[in-house]
Amino acid sequence: MKRAEPRPDKVAAIESIRDKLERSKAVVLTDYRGLNVKATDELRRRLRGAGVEFQVVKNTLTLRAARQVGLEELERYLEGPTAIAVAYDDPVTPAKLLNDFTREYRQLEIKGAVVEGRVVGPEDVRRLAELPSREQLLAQVAAGLQGPMRGLVFVLGATLRSLVYALDAVRRQKEEAAGA
**Around Cβ 61, how many Cβ atoms within 10 Å?**
21
Classify residue 3: in a domain, yes or no: no
Q: Which pLDDT score is estimated for 174? A: 86
Q: Which pLDDT score is estimated for 3? A: 64
Question: What's the rounded Cα separation, in Å, for the pair 51 and 20?
Answer: 14
Segment 28-54, tens digit of pLDDT: 999 999 899 999 999 999 999 999 999
Classify residue 1: in a domain, yes or no: no
Domain that holds residue 145: 132-180
Q: Which pLDDT score is estimated for 2? A: 61
Q: Which pLDDT score is estimated for 132? A: 76
Do residues 37 and 96 share a domain?
A: yes
The C-alpha angle with vertex 133 and arms to 132 and 139, in degrees rounded to 5, equals 85
* DSSP per residue, 85-143: EEESS-SHHHHHHHHHHHHH-TT-EEEEEEETTEEE-HHHHHHHHHSPPHHHHHHHHHH
Q: What is the pTM of this model?
A: 0.71
Question: What's the rounded Cα separation, in Å, for the pair 1 and 4?
Answer: 9
Do residues 49 and 67 share a domain?
A: yes
Do residues 103 and 163 share a domain?
A: no
Classify residue 125: in a domain, yes or no: yes
The string over 18-30, giving b where at least 16 C-beta atoms fall within 10 Å of a residue's C-beta and e elsewhere, is: bebbeebbbbbbb
Residues of the chain with pLDDT under 50: none
Question: What's the rounded Cα separation, in Å, for the pair 51 and 127?
Answer: 21
Question: 79, 179, 96, 175: which is closest to 135 by C-alpha?
Answer: 96
